[in-house]
């Protein structure tokens, strides 16, 4: 420091001990670092408060993350809700359109068959035999409309029976696997099925 002063330089000395006193005195500017217990205590207290706040924030973030993860696991329907629109648009709606289309096509085919039977019975069978015309001309003959109603009843009943059996075929295909898994189930429900089918047959026959 003395050499720098002799060279005409401006000097600054910073020291924190008694061995630096001479240099601090020789320098143009001397900065002495002293230890103040009260300031150090306040600094340590502030540091501890900052560390406590940081630790609390860390615990809160960890707890929130754990709660969110637990909530995602407990919400079982979340995955279903996300997939519901896709399922509706690509599965339910096409299935509904198929049901409507094939239902109308089935009804149209039924009406065509019904009309064909009417034409076969009321036109061909009637006009091919003169005796039928003579019978219809008599006063006690049954009106053609009654014959038509009877034909409609027979056709509709036969169609309903065939339609129900056809649509129950997939269920019958699944029956063997169900019986193999729960054989006692067939023993329990078979009498009920037999009884309901017998009652249904009698009701249909009486109508």
pLDDT digits (tens, 9 = 90+) for 33-66: 776 667 677 777 888 888 888 899 998 888 888 7
Q: Which residues contact 207 (CB under 8 A, 6 or more apart)?
A: 153, 157
**Structure-model confidence comparison of residues 133 and 154, the more confident one:** 154
Distance of alpha carbon 164 from alpha carbon 158, whole angstroms: 10
DSSP conformational letter for 8: T
Distance of alpha carbon 12 from alpha carbon 14, whole angstroms: 7
Average pLDDT estimate for 66-73: 66
Q: 28, 11 in Cβ contact below 8 A?
A: yes
Q: 133, 171 in Cβ contact below 8 A?
A: no
Does residue 190 surpass a pLDDT of 80? no
Q: Which two tokens stand for residue 58?
A: 């860390």
Does residue 160 surpass a pLDDT of 60? yes
pLDDT at residue number 124: 64
Distance of alpha carbon 100 from alpha carbon 113, whole angstroms: 20
pLDDT at residue number 180: 79
pLDDT at residue number 170: 72
pLDDT at residue number 11: 92
Query: How high is the mean pLDDT of the chain?
Result: 77
Task: Give pLDDT tens digits for 7-40.
Answer: 888 999 888 767 788 888 888 888 877 766 676 7
Q: Which two tokens stand for residue 137?
A: 């001309």
For the whole model, what pTM was predicted?
0.39
- Interior/surface letters 34-48, b for 16+ CB within 10 angstroms, e for the rest: eeeeeeeeeeeeeee
- Interior/surface letters 165-183, b for 16+ CB within 10 angstroms, e for the rest: eeeeeeeeeeeeeeeeeee
pLDDT at residue number 111: 87
Q: 26, 13 in Cβ contact below 8 A?
A: yes
């Amino acid at each position: 420091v003395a050499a720098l002063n002799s060279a005409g330089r401006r000097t600054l000395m910073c020291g924190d001990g008694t061995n630096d006193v001479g240099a601090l005195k020789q320098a143009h500017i001397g900065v002495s670092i002293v230890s103040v217990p009260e300031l150090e205590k306040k600094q340590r207290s502030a540091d501890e408060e900052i560390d406590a706040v940081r630790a609390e924030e860390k615990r809160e973030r960890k707890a929130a993350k754990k709660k969110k993860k637990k909530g995602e696991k407990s919400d079982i329907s979340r995955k279903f809700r996300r997939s519901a629109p896709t399922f509706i648009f690509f599965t339910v709606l096409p299935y509904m359109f198929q049901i409507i289309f094939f239902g109308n096509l089935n009804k149209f085919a039924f009406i065509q068959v019904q009309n064909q039977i009417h034409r076969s019975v009321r036109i061909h069978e009637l006009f091919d035999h003169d005796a039928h015309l003579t019978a219809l001309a008599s006063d006690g003959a049954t009106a053609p409309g009654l014959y038509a109603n009877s034909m409609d009843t027979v056709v509709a009943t036969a169609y309903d029976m065939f339609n129900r059996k056809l649509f129950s075929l997939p269920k019958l295909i699944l029956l063997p696997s169900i019986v193999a898994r729960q054989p006692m189930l067939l023993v329990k429900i078979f009498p009920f099925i037999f009884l309901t089918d017998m009652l249904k047959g009698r009701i249909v026959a009486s109508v």
